Structure 1
């Protein structure tokens, strides 16, 4: 049983977490390049939020949104 858990630990440290280890090594050389993945995720999240708000505005302007009190059971 011990070999199974050591195999899982070895796989997760050497294979699954290898990209994070390379990012950690890159951070000492170039901070901006190491944090580029964070900026990419923030740009994706911001664009998704803008798209969502624009879709909400479109449905609100068309009058398709249900605003009566029976639209939600907890109200």
Structure 2
């Protein structure tokens, strides 16, 4: 079992986090390059929010949403 956990630790520390270790070295040189992952997540979140709001509007325009008092159990 010890080898299994050491293998998982190696996978995460040496393989999956390698890009983050490389970006850590760039942090002192260029702030924007070091925070590209944060910007990427912010862009993905903004796109997902716009998509979600458009879907809500589509269902609202088609009157597919049940708005009566018994529609939700917490009401």
Normalised to the residue count of structure 2, the TM-score between the two structures is 0.78
Query: Within 5 Å, which residues of 2 pair with 1:33-72?
Result: 33-72=33-72
Count of residues paired in the alignment: 74
Structure with greater proportional helix content: 1
Listed one character per residue, the Cα deviations across residues 7-43 of structure 1 (whole Å, up to 9, x for unaligned) are: 4433432222211101111112211011122111101
CA distance in 2, matches of 1:65, 1:11: 46
* TM-score of the superposed pair, with normalisation by structure 1: 0.78
- In structure 2, list runs of 5 or more residues that go unmatched: none
For 2:7 and 2:63, the matched residues in 1 are separated by 58
